[in-house]
Structure 1
Amino acid sequence: MRAFFNIVIIGLIGLLSSTYLFNLSPVDYKGTIEIETPVEESTLSLEVEEDKILNPESITIKHTASKEEVIKIVSNSIFNVDIYKDNKLVKSNIDNLEPVSPSIDATISVNKDNPIITAVNIAQKNLGLEDGVYKFVFNSNIIADIDKASVSVTVTYDTAGNYYPAVNTAPAGTKGLTLYFPTKNADTLIPVTRFVVEDKSITRMAIEQLQNGPLSKELISVIKDVTNTTYNNGNVVIDLPSSYTAYNTGSTGAVLAYESFVKTIFAVDRYWPIHSVTFTVDRKNVDTYFHGMSREAINYLPNIKRNYLLYLAHKADNRYYLFEYQLSPEEIGIAENDSIEMKARKIFDAYSNTDIEYGISPVPKTVTLNNVSLQGRTLILDFNKDFLNVYEDKNDLRHMMVESFLYTFTTIPGVDSIKITAENKEITDFIDVLDTTKILYPPEFINP
């Protein structure tokens, strides 16, 4: 018996140590272990075309993603909005501002080339807000990542601001002098036209009016003591006293004084030819002045027309003024061999892309430029249909926008006038007292 057991054990050892393959039935672990596969992080984020807007009717916000994503709508409003004024919450969780509510449980595909574009109604009347500056925080209901689910925009409602259109003729018996005054914060110079009775040399009158200062409390004068102003065959000499040191101290004040003198005198060339400006001190030529400006800048500075100026709006004392902002051709992408039409497109884009604290674009972002063409020296600007609806109740702001186009686009070499259309059709009854079906030229006297 013992021998039999030994044989069985030896047989089992041999069997288990052999290379024979067994087909064992697999164990079904289904339902007993949950394996979580990491879900790739969503790339959804928000974009707005501008972060500061004036008197808007609506704003367009985009949901974008760097990869293909399918979004399921779980709310009847894509955004809710929180509104702050002076860092205090004045309205919260406002929803249903979209013109069309999305369908709940609907799915939308979004990727880099196909964003979700939503128009949100933020008209002042619709929200019941007073004039003022507000911070709007738009919160997306379809982005889970709270760090990406909101975007803020500064919104200014300013129904009290008015614009006084430029004019082409001076009142009888007067001369129109365009004077350049700095803003209260010394950010830039604002051109203001003043009509005065001619009682002496026009160049001397212009300097005296600079000394008299602006009427607006939010503009200032940096021109004080001047010994004499002489005009000789188109060359103007401004003599300054050495006893008045403010022109030569402080870089900002010195530059503003210099530019105020120069721009104001060059604007006199509508009446007299102005070829150059020279500054003397105590009737002597100097090699440097105005806080380090070179001899070339202060002696026989030539009157050369400046190109590529963008006319933006500045508000002072409840009034809007247009002012010039020098564009850098390199920064906005203008090349020497660009056509005039291409230059015009790049300058139009600058209305949206120029962000300065002291200037507001007079062109709402809903306005787009469909086409540009040149006929002779007239630039034809064709806009989208939204152009016809901007500033519906503010005829003066429409005037401001069109005059900005007039002053801006005629600083392109080869352009002296513009014509505006919308969807290739003439624009009628758009602005009172201005026939927009005709070719338009920049008015002579800005900001009267």
Structure 2
Amino acid sequence: MKIFNNIIILSLIGLFSSTYLFNLAPIDYRGTIEIETPEEINDLKLITEEYNLLNPESITIHHQSDNEVVTKSVSNSIFTVDIYKENSLIRKGVEKLESVSPSVNMSIIVNKNNPIVTSLDISQESLGLEDGTYSFVFNSNLIANSDNSSISVNVTYDTAGTYYPAKTQAPTGTKGLTLYFATENSDALIPVTRFVVEDKSITRMAIEQLQNGPLSSKMRTVIKDVTNTTYNNGNVVIDIPSSYTAYNEGSAGSSLAYESFVKTIFDVDRYWPIHSITFTVDRKKVDTYFHERSGEAINLLPNIERNYLLYMAYKIDGRYYLFDYQIDTQSSGILASDTVEIQAQKLFDVYKDIKLSYGVSPIPKNVVLNDVTKQGTIITLNFNDSFLSAYKDREDLKQMMIESLAYTFTTLPHTDGIIISVNGEDKTGVIYPPEFINPEAIE
């Protein structure tokens, strides 16, 4: 038996030490064990309360997370900033704007109760930017996911100019004609009141004064050739020679000319009743004109009340002018079924949200409209304490703010005047919008 066991052992040793190849059946491990590579989750997001800034010194941005996140700084700047103007990139990757720079490779713990709060210096002086409206895109160096690593803010720099208040009366022996002139960039029509001695039909005078052009070299008239202007029982007929084709070429230029005609003539109704305007060419009615305008826009355009206008400020040669801007009631959420009080609150909210590259809101960001009440045709706008400190030591700019409010809120239906109160205390009495906006000649 012992000999037999030894034979078996020797046989096995020989077998395993030989060069004979074994083909072992493969083993399928699928479905047996699944190993996942851990995925790094970084749910940091950027938050700011300041999306539309006027003349800012700084901006505060938060890195927030609902879960605990450990992140590491990879640069001595938390943010880089790309700056755009009119959709063109003018500065890329501006850095080191933080008041306190982080250490490279420093680990930072973020959770719901412990956000990263960063203050960035974006003053006009620090960045060396000219007056204008810009889009700032802040890019976080702490967030790898490009979908949530940036935040965009609109910034307007507007060096303080001078505002000349509107007038309630024309000088003795004159009539005030509000004329609409285009800006150099053709981005707005600015109403300017010129006081003239009446020596002919006042509607004809208005057109002639438009043709004469503005006193400011930074504005221009878009009204040139006109054959005749007649007034008949409230209807004004403006006849244009077919030889002058500029009114009918290009949508932007023709639109400015059309609006300049219409707004200027309808403002004459402070003196004469103006019911409608008709345009003719070579004394004949036309189906279309002013780049395909047609229907009542050309024939018997009615003089109807324009509602929901926002009066913004435009600076030209160091002077602020108020101008009207027609808001989009749909995007602003204003409904015909809303009460006037609700419409007024929504209209004020547009001051905060509006994004214009050429006009600025006359209402400082920290001024808050607490509530609105209405009695008859007068509404009371009740503001917080910031209203009293707005434009400190600048009475002209305070007046600009008040007049902007008066012009704006009397475009609400059935509203003739406003009262401004602060925390429920009447500060102004009833204010009616002054008749003559932006007097051209300053005494």
Shorter-chain TM-score: which interval?
0.7 to 0.9
| Residue aligned with 2:289, SS | coil
| Pairwise CA distance, 1:63 | 4.4
Is the 2:182–2:220 Cα contact (8 Å) retained in structure 1?
A: yes
Is the 1:139–1:150 Cα contact (8 Å) retained in structure 2?
A: yes
Is the 1:83–1:92 Cα contact (8 Å) retained in structure 2?
A: no
Partner of 1:371: 371
Partner of 1:327: 327
| Pairwise CA distance, 1:180 | 0.9
| Residue aligned with 1:208, SS | helix
Partner of 1:394: 394
| Pairwise CA distance, 1:334 | 1.8
Partner of 2:20: none
Distance 1:78 1:236 in 2: 64
Paired residues for 1:280-291 under 5 Å: 280-291=280-291
Distance 1:333 1:257 in 2: 30
Which letter does structure 2 place at the counterpart of 1:110?
K
| Pairwise CA distance, 1:210 | 0.4
| Residue aligned with 1:415, SS | coil
Partner of 2:25: none
Partner of 1:110: 112
Is the 1:57–1:124 Cα contact (8 Å) retained in structure 2?
A: yes
Partner of 1:44: 45
Partner of 1:203: 203
| Residue aligned with 2:208, SS | helix
Partner of 1:442: 433
| Residue aligned with 1:170, SS | coil
Give CA-to-partner distance per residue, 1:150-169, whole Å, 9 cap, x none: 65645444335222221111
Distance 1:110 1:361 in 2: 35
| Change over 3 Å in CA distance of 1:81–1:135 after alignment to 2 | farther
Stretches of structure 2 lacking an aligned partner (at least 5 in a row): 7-35, 101-106
| Pairwise CA distance, 1:194 | 0.9
Partner of 1:278: 278
Q: Which stretch of the first structure deviates more once superposed, 38-47 or 410-419?
A: 38-47
| Residue aligned with 2:332, SS | coil
| Change over 3 Å in CA distance of 1:391–1:414 after alignment to 2 | same
Paired residues for 1:14-413 under 5 Å: 38-51=39-52, 53-56=53-56, 59=59, 61-65=61-65, 67-69=66-68, 87=90, 93-96=96-99, 110=112, 132=131, 143-145=142-144, 151=151, 153=153, 155-413=155-413
Is the 2:287–2:294 Cα contact (8 Å) retained in structure 1?
A: yes
| Residue aligned with 1:362, SS | coil
Give CA-to-partner distance per residue, 1:78-112, whole Å, 9 cap, x none: 98787979946999624449xxxxxxx9988538x
Give CA-to-partner distance per residue, 1:237-259, whole Å, 9 cap, x none: 11111221212222222222111
Distance 1:38 1:119 in 2: 31
Distance 1:291 1:245 in 2: 10
Is the 1:383–1:421 Cα contact (8 Å) retained in structure 2?
A: yes
Is the 2:43–2:67 Cα contact (8 Å) retained in structure 1?
A: no
Distance 1:81 1:392 in 2: 34
Distance 1:196 1:309 in 2: 28
| Change over 3 Å in CA distance of 1:258–1:156 after alignment to 2 | closer
| Pairwise CA distance, 1:170 | 1.2
| Change over 3 Å in CA distance of 1:146–1:90 after alignment to 2 | closer
Is the 2:50–2:153 Cα contact (8 Å) retained in structure 1?
A: no
Distance 1:411 1:2 in 2: 118
Calculate the TM-score normalised by the size of structure 1. 0.76
Q: Cα RMSD over matched residues? A: 3.9
| Pairwise CA distance, 1:409 | 1.0
| Change over 3 Å in CA distance of 1:149–1:290 after alignment to 2 | closer
Stretches of structure 1 lacking an aligned partner (at least 5 in a row): 7-34, 98-104, 427-435
| Pairwise CA distance, 1:315 | 2.2
Is the 1:46–1:150 Cα contact (8 Å) retained in structure 2?
A: no
| Change over 3 Å in CA distance of 1:384–1:376 after alignment to 2 | same
| Residue aligned with 1:437, SS | strand
| Change over 3 Å in CA distance of 1:80–1:96 after alignment to 2 | farther
Which letter does structure 2 place at the counterpart of 1:93?
K
Which letter does structure 1 place at the counterpart of 2:197?
V
Which letter does structure 2 place at the counterpart of 1:304?
I
| Residue aligned with 2:176, SS | strand
Report how many residues are paired.
400
Give CA-to-partner distance per residue, 1:11-64, whole Å, 9 cap, x none: xxxxxxxxxxxxxxxxxxxxxxxx99645322321335324x333365454545
Distance 1:172 1:90 in 2: 59
Is the 1:46–1:149 Cα contact (8 Å) retained in structure 2?
A: no
| Change over 3 Å in CA distance of 1:56–1:206 after alignment to 2 | same
Calculate the TM-score normalised by the size of structure 2. 0.76
Distance 2:57 2:396 in 1: 17
